[in-house]
């Protein structure tokens, strides 16, 4: 990332919200449930399935969590009504993990009760490190009650290898493997780009060897290639993995993976609480950060 782009990323909180929204548009389906349905239908027509995320996180009042649960129930019903090839992803802090873990668990249970007759899948997203253990505990409690549930692990965390070996592999957990998006202290997280990549490959191999189902969530072509290699070398069956990408990111690589005959799932976020998610995406995309700065400065884009 150039110095200019780094400055833009550092200055993101001062970028007008309207402009952030403009540049973040490709990353979110829209503000309404209908926007999410339209996006998923478009993806389904391309042979791609989806996971729907109702935007929102880090809530501080129980009523906010209760509203999020109601919204997710509407999503589950829409998936069935519209016959979408999609499941849901839920952030634990949106269901109140930061307020009270028992309350959060009960909120997931409310959604599980609605999902159960449809036998659809629920993914528990992974957030920053104060919530890692609590989220794994939550997963372990819920999967005993409803097996169609999975969790996320982050390759940048030093603890993840141990978490897979000691907690997730023994129960053949269904995981999404990603690099990790939050800013974490060096004591607990690898910061070096190559080490995170190498750890990702190690974790992927461990998980596949253990017979776990893996959502290979990355836009990093080198990791996609490494995943292809492992799938080939280990003779991994198609029902043991899928690739996953975020809406609006590396669509040409996405098309390539689908053409190569692999299952692809796209993360489709929607809702009014788009700001934190959007700024995380913009910070990951140095080019877009540059566009934002140029737009503010009135420099035309080439
Ligand atoms: C389906 C899915 C679910 C996720 N869930 C979680 C989660 O629960 N918890 C969590 O901590 N993280 C989650 N992440 C985010 C993940 O941890 C990474 O931050 C993110 O995927 C970027 O890492 P990467 O592997 O794509 O590699 P990178 O090296 O970051 O990206 C590889 C290439 O992809 C392109 N790219 C990446 N991001 C963007 C962007 N925003 N705009 C344009 N181009 C881009 C660039 O060309 C970049 O060089 C998820 C990611 C995916 C795909």
Confidence (pLDDT) at 302 = 38
Residue 229 in tokens = 């290699």
Domain 29-273 top-level CATH class: alpha beta
The H-assigned helical ranges of the chain are: 3-10, 17-24, 33-45, 62-81, 101-115, 132-145, 160-163, 193-209, 221-234, 251-259, 275-284, 286-297
CB of 283 within 6 A of ligand 1: the answer is no
What are phi and psi for residue 106, nearest 5 degrees?
-65, -35
Domain boundaries, the chain: 29-273
Q: Kindly report the pTM of this predicted structure.
A: 0.94
Confidence (pLDDT) at 5 = 65
Name the residue of 179, 195, 216, 286 whose CB sits within 8 Å of the most ligand 1 atoms, as the mutation to test its pocket: 179
What is the position in ligand 1's atom list of the atom closest to the CA of 253? Answer: 34
What is the position in ligand 1's atom list of the atom closest to the CA of 27? Answer: 41
Q: How far apart are CA 95 and CA 88, in angstroms?
A: 14
Confidence (pLDDT) at 296 = 62
Q: How far apart are CA 177 and CA 128, in angstroms?
A: 15
Confidence (pLDDT) at 20 = 83
Residues 6 or more apart whose CB falls under 8 angstroms from that of 74 comprise: 33
- Number of residues that this document lists for the chain: 302
Distance 302 CA to ligand 1 centre (A): 25
Distance 301 CA to ligand 1 centre (A): 24
Q: How far apart are CA 183 and CA 202, in angstroms?
A: 22
Distance 219 CA to ligand 1 centre (A): 6
Q: How far apart are CA 122 and CA 247, in angstroms?
A: 18
Q: How far apart are CA 50 and CA 270, in angstroms?
A: 12
CB of 196 within 6 A of ligand 1: the answer is no
Do 176 and 131 form a contact (C-beta atoms < 8 A)? no
3-state secondary structure of 161: helix
Q: How far apart are CA 3 and CA 8, in angstroms?
A: 9
Output the tens digit of pLDDT for each of the chain's 302 residues: 666 666 667 777 777 788 888 888 899 999 999 999 999 999 999 999 999 999 998 889 999 999 999 999 999 999 999 999 999 999 999 999 999 999 999 999 999 999 999 999 999 999 999 999 999 999 999 999 999 999 999 999 999 999 999 999 999 999 999 999 999 999 999 999 999 999 999 999 999 999 999 999 999 999 999 999 999 999 999 999 999 999 999 999 999 999 999 999 999 999 998 888 988 888 887 576 666 666 666 654 43
What is the position in ligand 1's atom list of the atom closest to the CA of 283? Answer: 41
Place of tokens 């596949």: 208
Question: What residues act catalytically?
Answer: 125, 176
Q: How far apart are CA 10 and CA 27, in angstroms?
A: 20
Confidence (pLDDT) at 301 = 42
Residue 258 in tokens = 């689908």
* pLDDT tens digits for range 22-73: 888 899 999 999 999 999 999 999 999 999 999 998 889 999 999 999 999 9
CB of 219 within 6 A of ligand 1: the answer is yes
CB of 244 within 6 A of ligand 1: the answer is yes
């Amino acid at each position: 990332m150039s110095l200019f782009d780094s400055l833009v990323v550092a200055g993101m909180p001062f970028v007008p919200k309207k402009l952030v929204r403009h540049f973040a548009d490709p990353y979110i389906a829209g503000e309404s449930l209908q926007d999410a349905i339209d996006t998923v239908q478009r993806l389904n027509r391309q042979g791609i399935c989806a996971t729907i995320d109702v935007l929102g996180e880090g809530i501080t009042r129980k009523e906010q969590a209760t509203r999020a649960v109601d919204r997710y129930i509407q999503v589950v019903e829409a998936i069935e009504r519209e016959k979408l090839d999609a499941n849901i992803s839920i952030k634990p802090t949106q269901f109140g993990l930061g307020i009270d873990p028992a309350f959060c668990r009960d909120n997931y249970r409310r959604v599980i009760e609605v999902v159960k007759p449809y036998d659809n899948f629920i993914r528990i997203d992974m957030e920053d490190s104060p919530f890692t253990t609590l989220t794994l505990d939550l997963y372990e409690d819920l999967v005993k009650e409803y097996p169609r549930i999975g969790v996320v692990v982050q390759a940048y965390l030093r603890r993840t290898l141990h978490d897979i070996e000691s907690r997730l592999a023994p129960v053949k957990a269904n995981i999404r493997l990603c690099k990790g998006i939050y800013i974490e202290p060096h004591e607990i997280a690898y910061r070096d780009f190559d080490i995170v990549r190498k750890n990702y490959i190690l974790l992927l191999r461990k998980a596949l060897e253990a017979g776990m189902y893996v959502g290979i969530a990355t836009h990093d072509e080198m990791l996609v290639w490494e995943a292809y290699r492992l799938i080939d070398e280990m003779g991994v069956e198609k029902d043991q993995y899928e690739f996953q990408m975020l809406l609006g990111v590396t669509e040409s690589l996405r098309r390539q993976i689908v053409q190569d005959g692999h299952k692809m799932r796209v993360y489709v976020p929607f809702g009014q609480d788009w700001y934190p998610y959007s700024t995380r995406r913009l910070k990951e995309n140095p080019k877009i950060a540059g566009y934002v700065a140029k737009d503010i400065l009135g420099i035309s884009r080439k």
